[in-house]
Structure 1
Amino acid sequence: MRLRLPPWRRLGAAALRILAVWAVGTVTMLVLAGILPDFRLQSSDGDSATLIGITAAIGAGVFGLLSALVWPVLVRALLLVPALVLGLLVFFLNGSLLLLALSLIPYGHGSADPETAVVVAAVMSAASSAASTFLTVRDDGAYRRRLSRLADRDRRRANAGEGPRTPGTVFLQLDGLGHEVLREAIEPPDGSAPLMPTVAAMATGSHRLTPWRTDWSSQTGGSQLGILHGSNEDVPAFRWYEKETGEVIVSNRPTSAAELQRRAVERTGDRGLLALDGASRGNLFSGGAGQAALVLSVSVRRGRENRSRAGYFAYFSDPANATRTAVSFVAEVLREIGQSVRARLRGKGPRVGRGGLYPVVRAFATVVERDVVVAAVLGDILSGRTAVYADLVGYDEVAHHSGPRGRDIRQVLRGLDRSIALIAKVIEKAPRPYHLVLLSDHGQSHGETFESAYGLTLENLVRAGCGLPVPRKAGRTLSGGEARAAARAALHRPEECGQEPPRKPPRTAGPVVLASGNLGLVSFPDVPGRMSREQLDARHPALLRALADHQGIGFLLVRSEEHGAVVLGPGGAEHRLATGEIVGGRDPLEPFGHGAADAVRRTAGFPHAADIMVNSAVEPRTGRVHAFEEQIGSHGGLGGEQNRAFLLSPLVLSAPADGELVGAESVHRVLRRWLAEAAGSPGTSTSPPAGPLESADAALPA
């Protein structure tokens, strides 16, 4: 048990820290005044060194006071501003506070140009943050109180040394990081040092690494809903069309996420994994947590605690945090631009476009969201919360555009490892022991996009197979030409002259074609309910064969009036899922490995499965697939490493499963069991050995 200092000692230590940080700010201001020509701390006639020093001290003190009092108010206002412009506003507002501080110096000797004020404010915030962190982390009580401010105030414990005896649990989701990629990051095949030393120490010491197989819909919406709420029934993809409402459900749309969570809770009769004293951070769904920040499913609510950007306030209310994250944000944008240019110059494929807003989106995912989520988790740990589930999305975002093993990925994996090291370090100072569990929701599969490989999109191929107009460029491709020719022959239409589309297209509603990685969904809105194979053949005789025989497509799932759910493959091959009978050739599901039939059979029973479910082909040796979206690292269907996620769990907890762990709902049951085990008996912290964590202090948030 730690001894508590008497009140006067704690007040004295706090006062000394304030004076030390003030002194650092004063010295920083003096140095900057000597370096920057447009920043002055003296009158044009010159002042004595003493007066300049007093001016710097007053300026630094007023700037620090304004940062403490005014900045939180400004951040409240920033909740109304789109998050992607936060980086620029941080610099502007911080510079404005410095100009205000200089104007408040009694004898008016301080001045700076606006551009220079931004630089001075950023440097001073960084210096003060470093000094404050250096002093605070060496005082356990102050350290806890500082980080506990990141948690909700009503949960702070008056006595930081007291807390529950049973362990809490932190579930940290590394979004999109597959089992094989993680293994290579902690045990490089070439024998070099691991990219993720903290995770490597865990895997070889206190934790066990277990792979698990995803559902057919291998994407965050389906996986995380199943993990947090115990049911991902009727989630056929990341996005799908619902005929009864005419709406497209998109998992990362706030209204859709809220509806999916409502359905899952209604189906299970349970609030979720985190219902008992839990916190959900940076997720699509809340898991029933009482505390949720940056959670999509609750962001549409208009409550004070659940506004869309309210989760950012606790972190950015400290200007030092805001400045540091803004600097890292700009650096990440520049890094992405440089990496994109290098990839183009090298000419190595496959590649996708990385211009437009993507550099900003990447920086937001890998810097802003990471910093905010990690800081929120630290606050939860130090306030003694029982269960925390947080999602770090940086790897998934970058891998979509750079590939699961691209050169750009190495930096992201190192950053994730530093975040894990920081969380493990803070666990050592928590008021209760904690189990730290790492997991992923899916992996990613590499490969050239469908459009890049074959010259047309899945939608164009479907429209060509239906005999509907397609863009001239798509019609000229081999795939598009074959599909259109087959459609014309099936409909007994004459040959087209040239490349012009038919003058009078069929009077039928066009299909809705959606993509979720390498999984495609085709629905016909004007036909109620799910169309049968027989209806499809009668309406569009060439469509199913045009799709099934395409070399970029692995298989189709349709519903037959005679045989039930049927998987169609090239050359007329069929896999009748109800009986397991294979007719007409090779099993279309064979290249996708064991378990594929079970995964497809389960989805076939979903009410909102599309009229035609399309899975791209997979190259069995390399696991390459063709995404129907602009992604060279993709997930959402079957094929390759996207279906192999991982669990890294403490050895003090029971093994996840006796055999293979299959499906997100199974993972939910495992995590439930672990929470019950933690609640049933006292335990010890399962943080990694101290070696890899010694440098974590430098990254501690201010």
Structure 2
Amino acid sequence: MHGVTRIPWRRLGAGALRVGAVWLVTTVTMLVLAGLLPEFRLQSADGDSATVIGITAAAGAGAFGLLSALVWPVLVRAFLLVPAIVLGTLVFFLNGSLLWLALYLIPYDRGSTDPTTAVVVATVMSAASSATNALLAVRDDRAYRHRLARIAGRRRRREGGARPPCTPGTVFLQLDGLGHAVLAEALRTPEGGRPLMPAVAALCGRTHRLTPWRTDWSSQTGASQLGILHGSNADVPAFRWYEKSRGEVIVSNRPTSAAELQRRAVERTGDRGLLAQDGASRGNLFTGGAKQVALVLSVSARRRKENRSRAGYFAYFSDPANATRTAVSFVAEVVREIVQSTRARLRRERPRVGRGGLYPFVRAFATVVERDVVVAAVLGDMLSGRTAVYADLVGYDEVAHHSGPRGRDTRQVLRRLDRAVGLIVKVAEHAPRPYRIVLLSDHGQSAGETFEDAYGLTLEELVRAGSGLRVPRRAGRRTAVGPAAGSRSPSGAEARASARAALRRPEESGQEPPRRPRRNAGPVVLASGNLGLVSFPDMPGRVTREQLEARRPALLRTLAEHPGVGFVLVHSEEHGPVVLGAGESEHRLETGEIVGGRDPLAPFGPGAAAAVLRTARFTEVPDLMVNSSVDPDTGAVHAFEEQIGSHGGLGGEQNRAFLLSPLELSPPVRPDEELVGAEAVHRVLRRWLAENAGYSVYGGGGVGDGGDGESAADGGGGARTVGATGVPPVAGPARCTAAR
């Protein structure tokens, strides 16, 4: 009996020691600040002894700590009625108000300060408290585990009280825009140094395998994530496109468009999505069928009770130390971007795009606020024993658009993402069920100067010139059918959309093409990275090659012969979908016939023809699809947007994404196969969820083979049953392989 009662007393004693240590640190911090800041005092006007001042500081620190623990969560929940970014800016004010109240509660009116100084003192004290708690947690691993277990127990009780099963859960962590080649470089250990991403390198070296996968022609988050989460990205030809049947522009990161795309995918597949069974979707464009969502764009425009997309903000900002740290980091990131962009401009670095306006704030939101909130939500999901979690971290993609896939700025972002991955891996060790962590990307990025910088005109100007229409002298400063006539679409789509949703302004106005372009406004020219889309609203149905040659005889050759254009897709009445290239070359996709001696798709590698043909068969395809040229040696492309790191079409590293998966799970594909397309990735992730749940897995589910019923893990032969702990161990050494 004695042994049974000792453990609670030891825990209580350890907890009391931690509280005492934090109290002591914050007391000393308050004393130091009182000595440094003339407007902050802890003594009466007549002066006090050192003992009295010390007692006053201890009382103030204790009162501030109690108020932070008891009042702060209530305040944050109340302020969730305001936009999330506004909540972040209120952090300092709320913290300062709590300190002012704590000083007011000190007896004998010995503590006083002005509002500005209160904010400073409260910020420093919260940081000191957070650092002390973190240090004690690191030094006392058992206490850390107990604390996580208590949090997990509370979350389980709130959600029904059921204990998580012993089967492994799965965390899918998407590093948005990080290509296979860039990741492989970040995992290499330089001579005498350490990898750029040591936490991910440790996984890859011990427990995970690295597998590349090839994207669809539309190599962007809207198409890739829809296919990964919902199993179908059919009829999504680009990031934005004009649908003649609806007479409006669809934009993947517009909440109403995202909701419509998700509805279509669910209708097409007859399935809610990858996360339908006890899943959580964090920071994504789509829900994946999850009931638990936070920062998900397709539901951000809702105002109904079941919309819990803002719940992630409360979970994070309910800790004043978290809120303070994020707010400070946000300001620091804005300053960092201004310094970095100024340095790039002074050094005359090329290629370069504009990084002014709201971009520093968008970057800070993506690399700080959204990262912190999404990671906190994932940690909460693991501690509550969620079966499947899919989260998207968009920071790298946002910065790479403006600084390049391998820029100095993007390397800093990768280091911080690596620390986030390391934290998730560490917390997974203390979760109430085992977790298998899968890292993946939705596409890569290809470097290169913009089409306008390289050739002195925009794609819209080129289309109008080839159509015999007037080309304004300064078309880049006017609005025709889109920003800069469709060529200066705002980059960083995912981050900007999330920031707008956080501001409770999910539908952007004035920066996207109008939903219903006028039929007499000329061609609608839109951009998706280095993929351009041209539609003619005044010509009903899908315009054919023969119709264009009759009405605009110079247009097709003007586009195909331009040195910045790799190929043009158009539909022919006689031959079906045809790819046009320079020198009057053609690739007739239905038959594979090459006319003119040179295949215009050859520079884009194997699989290009199949990817283009798949898109050409979509119901809603623009009249013309224009892919920029690609440098065969460097893989550089020319974005039709203001981006020096771009994705959306074919060419370069944008089409090579990655999967970093645990060795306990079956290989994504056989050694002699390539994983192709987001829908194939969906089938792989489905298979892994089934393996973790202990279900029978019938075949590869179309993993790279179109779903022929053979298993990608066992070489075929029908069904394979896996136990609760997964599949049999993978043969060979437990090391990361990056074949192909």
TM-score, L = length of structure 1:
0.89
- Indicate conservation of the 8 Å contact 1:439/1:648, yes or no: yes
Name the counterpart of 2:170.
Answer: 169
SS, match of residue 280 in structure 2 = strand
Instruction: Quote the offset at 1:200 in angstroms.
Output: 1.2
- Indicate conservation of the 8 Å contact 1:300/1:308, yes or no: no
CA distance 1:189–1:350, change in 2 (3 Å): farther
Name the counterpart of 2:725.
Answer: 683
The code of the aligned residue for 1:555 comes to F
The code of the aligned residue for 2:340 comes to Q
SS, match of residue 241 in structure 2 = strand
| 1:179 matched to 2:221 | no
CA distance 1:189–1:65, change in 2 (3 Å): closer
- How much is the aligned-residue C-alpha RMSD, in angstroms? 2.3
Instruction: Quote the offset at 1:529 in angstroms.
Output: 2.1
CA distance 1:562–1:669, change in 2 (3 Å): same
Cα distance in 2 between the residues matched to 1:29 and 1:124:
7
CA distance 1:601–1:190, change in 2 (3 Å): farther
CA offsets 1:143-162 (integer angstroms, 9 cap, x no match): 2157549968624869xxx6
Cα distance in 2 between the residues matched to 1:330 and 1:627:
30
CA distance 1:529–1:191, change in 2 (3 Å): farther
Name the counterpart of 2:210.
Answer: 209
- Indicate conservation of the 8 Å contact 1:219/1:635, yes or no: yes
Cα distance in 2 between the residues matched to 1:518 and 1:190:
36
The code of the aligned residue for 1:417 comes to D
- Indicate conservation of the 8 Å contact 1:568/1:575, yes or no: yes
Name the counterpart of 1:579.
Answer: 591
Cα distance in 2 between the residues matched to 1:551 and 1:345:
30
Cα distance in 2 between the residues matched to 1:152 and 1:536:
62
The number of equivalent residue pairs is 651
* Aligned with residue 561 of structure 1, among 554, 564, 573: 573
Name the counterpart of 1:483.
Answer: none
Alignment of 1:365-404 (within 5 A): 365-404=366-405
- Indicate conservation of the 8 Å contact 1:136/1:143, yes or no: no
CA offsets 1:665-697 (integer angstroms, 9 cap, x no match): 0000011111111111233999xxxxxxxxxxx
CA distance 1:146–1:253, change in 2 (3 Å): farther
- Indicate conservation of the 8 Å contact 2:534/2:623, yes or no: yes
Name the counterpart of 2:479.
Answer: none
- Identity, in percent, stands at 78
CA offsets 1:334-373 (integer angstroms, 9 cap, x no match): 1111111111111120000111111111111111111111
CA distance 1:582–1:672, change in 2 (3 Å): same
Instruction: Quote the offset at 1:557 in angstroms.
Output: 0.7
Name the counterpart of 2:708.
Answer: none
- Indicate conservation of the 8 Å contact 2:218/2:648, yes or no: yes
- Indicate conservation of the 8 Å contact 2:149/2:431, yes or no: no
The code of the aligned residue for 1:535 comes to Q
Name the counterpart of 2:688.
Answer: 674
Structure 1 unmatched runs, 5+: 476-505, 687-702
SS, match of residue 169 in structure 1 = strand
630-639 or 526-535, larger mean C-alpha shift: 526-535
CA distance 1:395–1:147, change in 2 (3 Å): farther
TM-score, L = length of structure 2:
0.84
Instruction: Quote the offset at 1:76 in angstroms.
Output: 3.0
Structure 2 unmatched runs, 5+: 477-517, 695-722, 730-740
Name the counterpart of 1:642.
Answer: 654
SS, match of residue 109 in structure 2 = coil
The code of the aligned residue for 2:249 comes to V
Instruction: Quote the offset at 1:16 in angstroms.
Output: 4.1
17-26 or 517-526, larger mean C-alpha shift: 17-26
| 1:588 matched to 2:630 | no
- Indicate conservation of the 8 Å contact 1:151/1:376, yes or no: no
- Indicate conservation of the 8 Å contact 2:207/2:662, yes or no: yes
Alignment of 1:513-592 (within 5 A): 513-592=525-604
Instruction: Quote the offset at 1:439 in angstroms.
Output: 0.6
Instruction: Quote the offset at 1:652 in angstroms.
Output: 1.2
- Indicate conservation of the 8 Å contact 1:71/1:318, yes or no: yes
Instruction: Quote the offset at 1:289 in angstroms.
Output: 1.1
- Indicate conservation of the 8 Å contact 1:169/1:388, yes or no: yes
| 1:664 matched to 2:671 | no
Cα distance in 2 between the residues matched to 1:32 and 1:38:
10
- Indicate conservation of the 8 Å contact 1:559/1:566, yes or no: yes
Cα distance in 1 between the residues matched to 2:61 and 2:419:
32
Name the counterpart of 1:619.
Answer: 631
CA distance 1:113–1:157, change in 2 (3 Å): same
Cα distance in 1 between the residues matched to 2:285 and 2:574:
39
The code of the aligned residue for 1:49 comes to A
Alignment of 1:240-251 (within 5 A): 240-251=241-252
Name the counterpart of 1:497.
Answer: none
Name the counterpart of 1:351.
Answer: 352
SS, match of residue 212 in structure 2 = strand
Name the counterpart of 2:663.
Answer: 651
Cα distance in 2 between the residues matched to 1:331 and 1:87:
14
* Greater RCO structure (CA 8 Å; 6+ sep): 1
| 1:44 matched to 2:45 | yes
Alignment of 1:436-455 (within 5 A): 436-455=437-456
Name the counterpart of 2:107.
Answer: 106
